[in-house]
Amino acid sequence: MSASTNNGKKPQQIPKSIKFLFGGTAGMAATLFVQPLDLVKNRMQLSGEGGTKRVHKTSFHALRSIIANEGVLAVYTGLSAGLLRQATYTTTRLGIYTSLFEYATKEGKNPNFFMKAVIGCTAGGIGAFVGTPAEISLIRMTADGRLPEAERRGYKSVFNAIYRISNEEGVATLWRGCWPTVARAMVVNAAQLASYSQAKEGLIKTGYFSEGLFLHFVASMISGLVTTFFSMPVDIAKTRVQNMKVIDGKPEYKGAVDVISKVIRKEGIFSLWKGFTPYYARLGPHTVLTFIFLEQMNKYYKRLVLKDMSEGGGGL
């Protein structure tokens, strides 16, 4: 028990600015491990588009094709965009979520599942809007290698991508596909953050789990599976809208609904879950690593800075 508790005082809380910082840092650290999976997921979701592009039958086929045609280092294409996306999107969403979660916690009682989902939607939507420029840069950079040499955009970094998109296509293009991105983020965060919190509580109640890394790992994998199933149709719409080109003033898709209807009509309804394996393989570990890094940073901040030696540190 902490000294502050022994003195009858309410334990100090982690400052909101630190929560935002830890959220982004945790997401960036996780991205260093899962960027290749993000690349494969994007290539799979674009596979078959237009009927003339290279089709990837499985995740392993996609990965093997990328390495064979573009080199081993190509699996980290778009890393700078992935890191900036986490620095903007994840910093915002986890910072807002933990702050609202803390506000909604009354007399030591956590908010119910519905309230967690509402908080998750809010945090995800705001975070997605902030992170859309990095998101669209990431989609384009990871998709570039699948195009013929003459059609590639050839962005050198995320900052080069943002500059060129703004200069060549207009600043508004940085928020192309913003609404499907926001919709996806709301679905992802409602499912991911709420299911993670709920899974932790449920696992602890079984009596077989206690606060620690193993609990965080199992709760994260459950959360990742739930999130993957519900968010993939929205994600494939977002990916294709953000990657599309405008030819003679006419965009390939009118919007997210147009993408989904065309995918179902031309590729079959199950194509909405195309790339499920790399998506979950990416989202699962990313969820695990993000929450583990976040929980550990919170725990050690409480111990080293706030001198709070009580168990638990995540606040999720």
- In the predicted model, is pLDDT for residue 91 greater than 70? yes
Number of CB atoms found within 10 A of residue 103's CB: 10
Strands (E) located in 115-229: none
pLDDT at 314 over 60: no
pLDDT on residue 4: 46
User: For residues 24 and 87, is the Cβ–Cβ distance under 8 A?
Assistant: yes
Domain-embedded: residue 1 = no
Instruction: Read off the pLDDT of residues 218-240 as tens digits, 9 standing for 90 and up.
Output: 888 888 888 888 888 888 888 78
Q: Compute the distance between CA of residue 147 and CA of residue 77 in angstroms, rounded to an integer.
A: 14
Q: pLDDT-based confidence at 158, cuts 50/70/90?
A: very high
More confident residue, 11 or 269: 269
On whether residue 297 sits in a domain, the answer given is: yes
Mean pLDDT, residues 311-315 taken together: 52
Residue 311 confidence class, pLDDT cut points 50, 70, 90? low
- Residue 172: what pLDDT? 92
Q: What is the pLDDT of residue 163?
A: 96
Tell me, what's the pLDDT at 9?
56
Distance CA 106, CA 128 (A): 28
- Structure-block tokens of residue 45: 């979701």
Given a contact cutoff of 8 angstroms between Cβ atoms, the answer to whether 76 and 36 are in contact is yes
Q: Is residue 312 part of a domain?
A: no
Q: What is the mean pLDDT of the chain?
A: 83
Task: Look at residue 83 and tell me whether its pLDDT is greater than 90.
Answer: yes
| pLDDT of 170 | 94
Which among 192, 75, 96, 78 has a CA at the least distance from the CA of 135? 78
Identify the H or E element spanning 309.
none
Q: What is the mean pLDDT of residues 99-120?
A: 85
Q: Is 294 part of any domain?
A: yes
Residue 20 structure tokens = 């935002």
pLDDT band, very low/low/confident/very high, at 1 (cuts 50, 70, 90):
very low
- Residue 77: inside a domain: yes
Number of folded domains that form the chain: 1
Q: What's residue 188's pLDDT?
A: 81
Q: Model's pTM, two decimal places?
A: 0.69
111 within a domain of the structure (yes/no) = yes
Distance CA 193, CA 222 (A): 11
Residue 183 has a CB neighbour count (10 Å cut-off) of 20
- CATH code for the domain in which residue 111 is found: 1.50.40.10
Q: What is the pLDDT of residue 173?
A: 92
For residue 11, the SS3 value is: coil
Domain span including residue 234: 14-304
Could you read off the pLDDT of 159-213 as tens digits, one per residue? 999 999 999 999 999 998 788 888 888 888 788 777 888 898 899 999 898 888 7
Contact 79, 122 (CB under 8 A): no
